[in-house]
Structure 1
Amino acid sequence: MLAMQREFSDDPLEKCSVSRYLRKFYKKWQSKKKTLDRLRKKFERAEERYNLSVRDLRNEKGRQRNRLILIDSERQLSRKVVDEDVIGALERTGYLTPQHITLIDTVLTIPRASIEKEYKRRIAAINAVIAVCDAEEGAPSRACGARKRTADTIDILAHTPLLKKQKSPTPDKSDGTVIQAIASRPTICFLCLGNPRLLVHERLENYKNLGSLSRHFVNIHVKPFPKDMRCECSICCEKLESKSGLLNHAERVHRTVSRLSQAALGLK
């Protein structure tokens, strides 16, 4: 009882001391409360940034997944495992010969729907392997012979022969440049290259990419002519009896590909 009276005494000095203690305690509490509020707001902002990052990551994963699905669908429609971007990158390295590029583009394909088409695919793959086995380092030396073939005939893939000697208005010093262009012609039109009536810079015109070369080939050498056109590949010394034969020869030997419809190419 005496202790309680001493604690809650009516003495003004003791009341003043208790009041100062309470005010000091209240100020400390307010300071800690402000610090706690500041830390809570900082945590909420960090949590919001984290949630945004997680959402962006999830969306990007979804976009990449859809992109891979689209790429796989395009490969299945084109019946090829290796797309044109990869083939173009391999060509730019300079370590693979044209026969190796043709081998990759022929062997790595999806099986066909019918037995006849599957046989043709396997025959083309076998011929590509034969072409790689017969390929030699440096300039090719095998003589070329002119022969006829139709658009539906599956022939042995032609090698890359030396340029046939023809009368050309250009001087002899340009022959070495033309022969070098044959070995690196993925972006050079093979028909223009083998045309001796053109100037040297027109024969050796190097297009920006494979798409530009394909557009030039279709617009200049395919569309203006009827489907029963006849022409000759001076590079391979081979006569082509139709427009479809020219397209098949361009894709199989010179890797100049056109993905337009038959109606757009004038085959119907």
Structure 2
Amino acid sequence: MTDMIRIATNAMSAEFSTLGAEMRVLRDEAGRDLLSDGPLAFWTGRAPFLFPIVGAVNCDSIHIDGAAYPMDKHGFARKSEFTVVDHQSDRATFRLEADTATRAHYPFDFRLDINFATAGATLTAEAVLTNLGDVALPASFGFHPAFRWPLPWGGDRADHRLVFAEHEPAPVRRIDTKTGLVLPDPRPTPIEGDTLAPRDDLFIEDALIFDRLNSRKVRFGVPGNRGLEVDFANMPLLGVWTKPGAPFLCIEPWQGLADPVGYDGDFRAKPYVVEVAPRAERRFAIAITLSA
């Protein structure tokens, strides 16, 4: 049975499930919901964590040091029960550690702590991956929050914009909708200057993947109204995704991405996979701010 953990300030509140350490609720000071409610017709996730892979892998398996291991899309953390190791009024820490079940898919001794904290109108989420073993641990990690679209602060769905901190002229990557793998040829970016106008037709071919980013911050909302800022200073990639017609937009900072079409190499050699040395740790973090 999963438990719900709440943290809050005067400006915001958030609730989390022990299943996947997933944020299930994010509200402003007036109690207005900012996170998807997981509509069954589209996607029931709200803000899962992607570990130890991001996206899909070829033939639903990863190869590590000559052996193959079954691995579902986005990994197993989002379907795992975490333990609450700290809970205060404005912060909480959830923990997942390797066991027999995880080693059948990922043969490493690890500890994954998810630290949430609220300060004013900002929620931070930091994942701390610790290698408890004696060999280097390869991993990817991703955030996947689904924000309401439209947000509750006024304006229609079509009025919303995703504004990047810098101009973003580079092409984007797209997904093979049959396999879930990354297509080899980049596509022209739909961003104009620093601004993306999200439209349903942009997501017929799944997510937009930005792998040549200048920005490490985006703002989502209706220009002139309140909005959400997402900071991801140490995450090199960004996915933006929804299903056409869905009442949410996912803003997903990643360290890693789906396999390229036809990839059959070792997981350690895959682009954007990081390796954590024995007894060392790696941190991944985002901050979500309810902006004026």
TM-score normalised per structure 2: 0.26
**Which has more radius of gyration?**
1
Q: Flag the structure with more relative contact order, 1 or 2, with Cα contacts below 8 A and sequence separation at least 6.
A: 2
Compare the two structures and name the one with the higher helix fraction: 1
